[in-house]
Amino acid sequence: MTVVTRFAPSPTGYLHIGGARTALFSYLWARKNQGKFILRIEDTDQERSTPEMTQAILKAMEWLGLEYEELYFQSKRQEIHQEYIDKLVAEGKAYWCECSPEEVEQMRQEAMAKGLKPKYNGRCREKNLGPGPGRVVRLKAPLEGETSFVDLVKGKISVQNQELDDLILRRSDGTPTYNLAVVVDDLTMGITHVIRGDDHVNNTHRQILIYKALNAPIPQFAHVPMILGPDKKKLSKRHGALSVMVYKEMGFLPEALLNYLARLGWSYKDQEIFSKAELIEKFSLENLSKSPSVFDTEKLLWLNSHYIKESSRQRLAQLLLEFLQPEGFNPSLAYLEKIVPLYQPRAKTLKEMAEQMHFFLKEAKELDYDAKAVEKFLTPEVIPHLQKIREKIATLTNFEQKALENIFAAYLEENQLKFKVIAQPLRVALTGQTVSPGLFETMEVLGKEEVLNRLQRALELAT
């Protein structure tokens, strides 16, 4: 048996963390078993589905690197759905119903008053009605016994058939319902494993009844528990339930988000860091957690910092341009590749890196100086030292880090100074701020001419 999984988002909104995790688990299970992963856009809700949301989902899948073998749009499959509904009616496994929504609601109210399950009472079940205005098609569900399945995460889940009603397969406007369309699509696409959020558990028994009515093989189901915020409540925007592409905009790498999502409800021994290849190799449905997972932004940041450290400077430079160009900066990739290693060991996000390196990308005359830092560190006592250091730097023919260290060491010894006396004044003079990468590394990247220009501007500011 070839394993076939699917991810079936609705384009009524962006792809969020919960959906991305479900997509990842479905992708990993297919790849683990050398199977097929299908993306199905469930766009039958014409009022709420938009082309923009569809494109956003496709872009998010591409960014995450979740490649799929086939792409379907549910809205283009209605003829197939209708064929299966007609088949069920023809075989006496479904029937036309003329009860209005108001009548069905009254049935439910009456059942509740008697302490029974609120549901449709089957009034039209044996009327042998045909099509007509306002009529729907309902499944002729079993009245006795139970419907059960063994969930690959939760174990056996059963429900008494008397708790279920004759669910609608075709609405009064002629369109197929969600449960019917899902079953027909999964059946005709050969889906063997349905991996989805546990908010779909209640639909599963109803869908199994449709499979049985069609005499069709039933896929295996794995319902993944929800993701909670740190306060153990349903994940919301304040916790981090953001669109996947917002994480891209925040400066996260796709491999960091994938790694984090995989560990959010799945584990393999004590391992925390996984490449995509390792995830495919080690993933198993047996190791999915039965309990909800708690979203931890700090852990995601830790993983992102790890992947930033592991990335090449060439790749990071290219990615950083996406953050710098909207701010009006357009440095060469060669220059960016020199800057990247100065931030790579400590950066948590690409956005943070981009913001912190702004001073590298301005000329001396455009550099912004922190007024308080200038007042505190560019004092009359320090100015003579900065002037002499500038003169010595001007004589250098080799402007590499080691040569700069040597010239400063000699100056400090000659003047019996400790480095801390001139370190912060020099940092403010060169960067306009009190925090930066190492001074000598910074100077080497800036280059001799720019360092001289910045020292000169700082001297002018302080006088």
Quick one: tokens of 460? 């002018």
Q: How many CB atoms lie within 10 A of CB 200?
A: 15
- Closest by CA position to 297, among listed 338, 337, 246, 339: 246
CB 229 within 8 A of CB 235: yes
Q: How many CB atoms lie within 10 A of CB 365?
A: 8
Q: What is the DSSP letter of 243?
A: B
Backbone angles phi, psi at 423, to 5 degrees: -60, -55
d(CA 349, CA 216): 49
Using alpha carbons, list the distances in angstroms from residue 378 to 366, 374, 387, 412, 440.
Answer: 18, 5, 12, 18, 19
For the chain, how are helix, strand and coil distributed in percent, rounded to 5? Answer: 50, 10, 35
| Distance linking the first and last C-alpha atoms of the chain | 81
d(CA 55, CA 84): 30
Can you spell out the DSSP letters for 69-122? Answer: SEEEEGGGGHHHHHHHHHHHHHTTSEEEE---HHHHHHHHHHHHHTTS------
Catalytic residue positions, numbered: 237
In three-state secondary structure terms, 434 is coil
| Residue at 359: amino acid letter | F
CB 231 within 8 A of CB 6: no
CB 33 within 8 A of CB 6: no
d(CA 414, CA 396): 18
